[in-house]
Structure formats: structure tokens, C-alpha cells
Structure 1
Amino acid sequence: MIWAQSGPKDIGGTCSSAIARASQLLKCGSPTPEEAWREASREVMQNSGGRSGSNGALMRTAPVGCAYFSVADCGRHAREIAEMTHMDEASSEICALYSRAIMLYTRDKGADGEDEVKKLAAMLHRWKAPGSALNPSGWVVDSMDCALRAIREADGDMKKAIVTAVNYGGDADTIGAITGGLIGARNGIDSIPKEWLAALPKDIRRRINAFADFCANART
């Protein structure tokens, strides 16, 4: 809520609705924040006809993989955080596997991370047929499909993967963020192009370096 009140350039419709409703419930005396968020997310899902599977939760769950130390904890917390705004099974499952893959990559368990990515790719086929046309939409399934395709096309190169993902068009900023979270965890902070880092405000760079230090220390 603090982030939403800070005047960000854009908040997706599902996130915006859930945040606003959770805020109302808390002001009205909801017993706990957890209950307020869950009720708000459920209402947003119902008001949208059961369709709340956009990619907003996926974009923000990358850091979950850096904060927890087991596959089970990481997956559980990723689902909980995703469901604060997106009460949708596809979103929850994809967020859990995405965060788990990031956790394994940042714990120097690359082979296990690759296995999680394979599970993630296979899971998408529950909602999207193999070989379906690329569709850079805001649906969580389409967005993750685009990210995985961009990484494959780039053959492990971070800059190429993100540029490829963004150039698919559509919901380009979120798809680029998802792609960067996954391949960034796999390749490490040193793989970020220096010119991209140089273009960031100093405060943002400071936060990135602090987060990288946190991830490094968490591995030990």
C-alpha cells in the first residue's frame, strides 16, 4: 500500500483494485491484514468473472526466490504473496515455480534451477497448447511463455534475452521484467550490461548492489 501511495507511473488493474479494497477493509476493522488481503483478492476475482490471472503478481515475486532457503518455503510464500492480489490458480502455480527457480539459481544450484524451469515450461501446457503462437499479452501464461522463449532464443545471453522479450511487443515492460528476473538469477549481477547500470539513478544502483549483497550473504 505504501508503494501504491507513492505515485508509481502505473499500477495494473487487478493490483489496483485489490489494493484499494484491502485498504477499505483494513479501515473498516478487518480482523487481520492477512484476512483483508485475502478477502480483497477474492472479491476482485469474483467481480472480474473469475478472471484475475494477469501477470502483476508474477512480476513482483522474483525477490521471493532470494529471501527463502528451501523449495517448499519459497513456493509457499510466493503463492501467498501472489494471492494478495491475484486469486488465480495459474498465477499462483507459475509464481511458485518461477520463484523456486530463482531461489535455486541464486543458491548456486544451477542444475536444479534448470529442472524447475523445465517444470515451469511443462506447466504452461495445462493452459496453452505446445507450439501455440507467441502472444505477448498480460495473461500470466502468455507472459511466462514469452519469457521462456526469449531466453531460449538468446542462448543464455542476458541482454539479448531481455531485448528479445521487450521486442515481442504487447505487455513489454512486464514481460521484460519477468525475463530479466529469471535469466538474471541464472547469470548473476555481473551479467547486467554496464551501460544499463550506468543509466540508472545512483539511489537505484545502490539498492541493486545492496540486494545483490543480501543474496550473496544468504547463500552462506
Structure 2
Amino acid sequence: MPQPIPLSSRIRGAIYGLAVCDALGAPVEFKPRGSFERVTSMLPNDNFGLPAGCFTDDTAMTLCLAHSLLDCGGHSNMIDQVKKYISWWQNGYMSSTGSCFDIGVSTRSALQTWADMLHLQSRGEDSPVQDAHSAMLAKITHEFSKDEYCGNGSLMRVLPAALIASSASNVVELAKESSLPTHPHLRCVHACMIYASLVQQLLNGASKTELAVSLSESINEIPSNISDTPIEAVLSERIGRYRSIQDWEQTTADSIRSTGYVVDTLEAALWAFFNSDTFEQAALQAVNLGYDSDTVGAICGGIAGTYYGFDAIRQDWLRDLKKKELLDEAAQEIIDHRNKLP
């Protein structure tokens, strides 16, 4: 009988799993499925002229969110999160290369809006800070709640909400709030809540079979462990048809889309996870789907790393990964934080 995986290994596995799969998938990002030689190792990223093993915006923004939640005592502070994202975008904070070389269109647009508003506020508006920040979020929500802004930019970074939260309900709340600064559309918010809840259940030792059933119940039953209101309709229609792990296993790759659309990304990442027996299998299934391969890989890697633990990640992938000290720091701080929870 296999030994239980320690929580510390699951946390390290989550952080490293996300980064490893991000770096694995990045070199074939934008490429149609089947148009490239199957990825099995770290490759140079010719899209941006980078050496093998460089993680992209997925991991950098995940680290930004992790440090914000940790710096704020495990609580959500959207302005602090935004400031860290802007620091990454403008100054390379938490980047694998020291600069921001890859950023989604919606994320960049939202961060530019935030930067402009924060700059104006710093010049001394008369309104109280809290009122000013509420007005900023209202503006972002109004501007970025259209269907055209349903990308995967908040889903790709939500992992720390699950790793740092103090309870199942806290996971859902942190995940929800982490989406709002750049992706306030309910479809994006609910995707983040669903994914973070799944990771939290795996931290507590859930099996894949249990996870698949829980996912179905979260979407198809009201109230659920995710929300007291119905899951957003488009997301519910796509993901809600998977009622068991067998439904995932019987779905072929040909019917899985791996675009940057949040529903496609969530489905593709979960499909790769449920259709594999090892971390390596999950990682390679995800990144070889092509198109938005780094983000599908990262999201799959985060949940697979949580399930299989750190020791399941291939040594050569870990060896080739750049800026591991950033991952080590975040993982250790999360472990220390968890150890202090009641």
C-alpha cells in the first residue's frame, strides 16, 4: 500500500508542477496540435528567444498572488495583488528572465487601466482611499465583464488561493476575489472557484474518483461546495456533462480544445489530469495539446503536482527549470503559513 503523501510534498508539487508544465509547454505555445514534434523535455522557447526551462506569465503571476496572500496574512487584498502584477509587468518581478516577455491581451489592458487609476489616486484625490479603490474595481468590472474578456488569465494564477486558504469556504472566497482585478466575468470567476476547490480537496487526500464526483456535484447541484447560486451557464453546460471519472476517460483528445478561452482551458487541463496515471503522463498530455499549451500545462501541472506530490516530477525537468529559488521561497513560505493555521 503506498505511503500517504505529506502536505509539504503536495504544496511543493503544486508550485513546481505548475512551473514545470508552464516551461514545458511554452516553446510550442501558439502552435496547432500535431504541427510539432511531441514534447518530452525542456526545449528552448523560440517564440521569445529564451533558453530551455523558462517559465512564463502563468508562473510569474501565480508567484505574485502567492506573495500577496502571504504578505497579507492569508487574506485577499486586491490592490496589493494588482501592484504586484504591475511590478511583474513593468519591472520583471517574479519573472524567470528578469523581465515580462509574455502577457495576455486582457491582462495587459486591465493592468494598464489599474496603473492609470492608481497613478491618479497617488496624485492626491480627495476621496477616501477605500472609496477610491472601490470605484476602481467598479470601473474594471464594468469594462472587463464582456464575453470577449473570458480568457484564462485569472485561472492560470489562482493556485495559491487553494494552497494558502484556511478552510474550504475561504478557498472559494480567495479564488473569487483573485479573479476580479483582471477577469471579473462570472465565467472566469466560477472557473477559478471550481479549480481552487478541486486543488484544496486534493490537499486533503481526495482520490481522482472522488474528485470527479465532487466536481459534478459542484456544478449540477445547488447549493454546492462552490456556490449557493448556479454556476455560470456556459461553464456549467461544458463541464457539467462530466458526471464521473469514466466520462473524462471516455472523452477523446479530438474533442478537447486547448485555446486561451477559460472554458476550453479548464476542460483541457482537467481532461489531461483525469486521463493519466502519473505526473509525467498528465504533463505530456496537457502540453502536447498545442495552442495555449503553456497555460493548459500550468493549470494541469498545478493540480497534478498536488495529487502526485513533488517527488513524482521528473528530475531532468526540475534540473532544467530556471529560477527555482523563486519557487522554493514561495513553497516554503506557504508551508510555514499552513503550519501556523489552527
TM value normalised by structure 1 = 0.84
- 1:170 is aligned to 291
> What runs of 5+ residues in structure 2 fail to find an aligned partner?
1-85, 93-98, 221-230, 242-250
Other structure's SS at 1:63 match = helix
Higher mean displacement: 202-211 or 60-69: 202-211
Alignment CA distance shift 1:119-1:143 (3 Å): farther
CA contact (8 A) 2:164 2:338 kept: no
State yes or no: 1:74 paired with 2:171: yes
Partner AA of 2:89 in structure 1: A
- 2:318 is aligned to 197
Structure 1 residue 87, shift from structure 2 partner: 1.4
Structure 1 residue 215, shift from structure 2 partner: 7.1
- 1:185 is aligned to 306
Partner AA of 1:150 in structure 2: A
CA contact (8 A) 2:216 2:240 kept: no
State yes or no: 1:126 paired with 2:242: no
- 1:150 is aligned to 272
Other structure's SS at 2:144 match = helix
State yes or no: 1:42 paired with 2:172: no
> CA-atom RMSD, angstroms?
2.9
State yes or no: 1:137 paired with 2:259: yes
Partner AA of 2:295 in structure 1: T
- 1:19 is aligned to 111
Higher mean displacement: 65-74 or 132-141: 132-141
1:10 aligns with one of 102, 114, 118: 102
Structure number with bigger Rg:
2
Overall identity of the aligned pairs, in %: 24
Alignment CA distance shift 1:153-1:121 (3 Å): farther
Partner AA of 1:141 in structure 2: V
Partner AA of 1:144 in structure 2: L
**What are the superposed Cα offsets for residues 154-190 of structure 1, whole Å, 9 maximum, x if unpaired?**
1x31111111111111111000000011111112222
CA contact (8 A) 2:163 2:334 kept: no
Distance in 1 of aligned mates of 2:270 and 2:308? 15
State yes or no: 1:85 paired with 2:182: yes
Other structure's SS at 1:87 match = coil
TM value normalised by structure 2 = 0.56
Other structure's SS at 2:150 match = coil
CA contact (8 A) 1:64 1:78 kept: yes
Distance in 2 of aligned mates of 1:36 and 1:12? 24
